[in-house]
Amino acid sequence: MTRQNPLFPGNAALPKDASGMVQPVDMASMIPTAKQAKENARRDERGWEKKNPSSSYRVPSNLCIRAKDINASLVNIAAEFMTTSSSVAAAFITFSLSHLREGRLMIEARPKPERRTLSLDWTETESGWPKEVKAARKKKKDDVRITEHPVFLSYRWGADIDKQIEAVAKRTGVPGGEVVVFLLNYAIKAYQDGRLSLVPKSVVVANKVTPSSAC
């Protein structure tokens, strides 16, 4: 069997001069440069991101600080495994959702006292005392509070996880952002306690981690 050149399959692909003699090949020119490799990696990553759009969840104002801490923890853990925070978040949220399905984790909606309002009815009276209605106080410039920008948690973890979170939110009546904070916080605590470990899994674009429960 005739051996084929791995770089030029078939003799016709070999560069020749006018006399038909095979010319030397500059191998260095055929090796992709670091810049080309980086551009190819970016192109592959953009293609992956296009197929896996991020899911964003608005976080209630009372959980903004906790949400920022959660995101910082995910970024730090991702750096240890040389992967993305979305990969870690997907592993953690999958762990928490599995415990939720198994009944090992419960989410219950609790009505907040500050959100409760009274429903009023009316009745006519022939004799009653007049009531004074105070006029609205004009706001001074010092009274105007600076509105903070809303906080969102955004991760690329697939439509299936997004649907599960939406189902939990509908079933419990808890906003999706609050559900995400609760589930990620639960998984991070399990990771810190050693009850959850991450197992690297190689993929085309970058390293991916999957949850492995130790409990």
In a domain, 32, yes or no: no
In a domain, 144, yes or no: no
Please list, in sequence order, all residues whose beta carbon lies within 8 angstroms of the beta carbon of residue 196, skipping any fewer than 6 positions away: 92, 95, 187, 190, 211, 212, 213, 214, 215
Helix (H) or strand (E) run with residue 148 in it: none
C-alpha to C-alpha distance for 209 and 215, rounded to whole angstroms:
18
In a domain, 181, yes or no: yes
Cα–Cα distances in angstroms (integers) from residue 21 to residues 16, 145, 197, in the given order: 5, 82, 61
In a domain, 78, yes or no: yes
In a domain, 59, yes or no: yes
In a domain, 121, yes or no: no
Range of the domain at 89: 53-104+151-215
Eight-class DSSP state of 83: B
Bridging pattern class, strands 196-202 and 207-213: antiparallel
In the prediction, which pLDDT does 33 show? 64
Counting the structural domains of the chain, the total is 1
In the prediction, which pLDDT does 192 show? 93
Number of Cβ within a 10 Å radius of residue 54: 13
Mean pLDDT per block of 10 residues along the chain (215 residues) reads: 51 61 60 61 57 85 93 93 92 94 85 53 60 56 57 92 94 93 94 91 56 59
In the prediction, which pLDDT does 146 show? 45
In a domain, 214, yes or no: yes
In a domain, 180, yes or no: yes
